[in-house]
Amino acid sequence: MKATSVLAFLLIGGAARAQQPAAKPRIAVVIDDFGLTYKKNVPDEKWWAIPWPYTAAVMPESPRTKAAGEAAKKAGKEVLIHFPFDPFQKLDLDPNAATEADKKSVLKLLDKASKDIPQAVGLNNHRSLRGTQNQPLMRWFMPELKKRGLFFVDSWVSPKSVAFQEARAAGIPTARNDLFLEDGKKHDKATCEHLLRAISKRARKNGSAVAIGHHYWQGTYDCLTELVPRLQSEGFEFVSVSALTR
């Protein structure tokens, strides 16, 4: 190949690479506690009508567990089992080994949740401050998820949680929550907007971020329905949380 041809080839290739758009920073929003809905809460139907992708986490053994899973799937939303360890289950949480009683209790609930929420493709933890810190239980639990083909999202209710690392060690696709969209007892629109902006900065810096909110609050709903379209116009892509597992 002549030198001029080689130069032209390199210039064209460089120009093509330069024209490739940069990847958009991605944000996954998980909305927890579906299945528990009361008259004062935002109606589920309003959540299902949201057009952009988010993931719905459904509580097991709740008044509307089955209906919520079905409705979420029908609305095109990704579904998780929102799984509680403690204090919902009375567990030993032995620091040295997962006890047979704990295994029996956890498996019983996991089997029932899997049956009642067959739409689920993954699982995240509901509360479980002590449970997700208990390495023996998490080390035993993650292969049980793998058997069922479920991925795991560590809700990260404690900085001492070992759930994420145990899921990775078990070879399960996993992600970890970065921020909650409510701050303790503050679940107004302004609080959510502040936290969602913080999430967007994290996504801009790291390429992606995960946020968890709760379906009860009007402030969270108003924040998301108003701010997400603005963030999309600013170049952020909203995805189901499975897209951010690794």
In a domain, 187, yes or no: yes
Tell me what percent of the residues of the chain surpass a pLDDT of 70: 91
| Tally of domains in the chain | 1
In a domain, 12, yes or no: no
In a domain, 110, yes or no: yes
CATH label of the domain that carries residue 225:
3.20.20.370
81-104 pLDDT tens trace: 999 999 999 999 999 999 999 999
Q: Is residue 106 a contact partner of residue 137, using CB atoms and an 8 Å limit?
A: yes
Mean per-residue pLDDT for 51-64?
Answer: 97
In a domain, 55, yes or no: yes
Token pair, residue 61, equals 């053994």
Question: Rounded to whole angstroms, how far apart are CA atoms 244 and 246?
Answer: 7
Planar angle of CA 53, 54, 59, nearest 5 degrees: 145
DSSP helix, strand, coil percent of the chain (3-state; round to 5): 45, 20, 35
Q: Is residue 97 a contact partner of residue 140, using CB atoms and an 8 Å limit?
A: no
In a domain, 166, yes or no: yes
In a domain, 205, yes or no: yes
Token pair, residue 197, equals 């902006």
Which amino acid would we find at residue 221?
Answer: Y
216-245 pLDDT tens trace: 999 999 999 999 999 999 999 999 999 999
In a domain, 7, yes or no: no
Residue 92's domain comprises 23-244
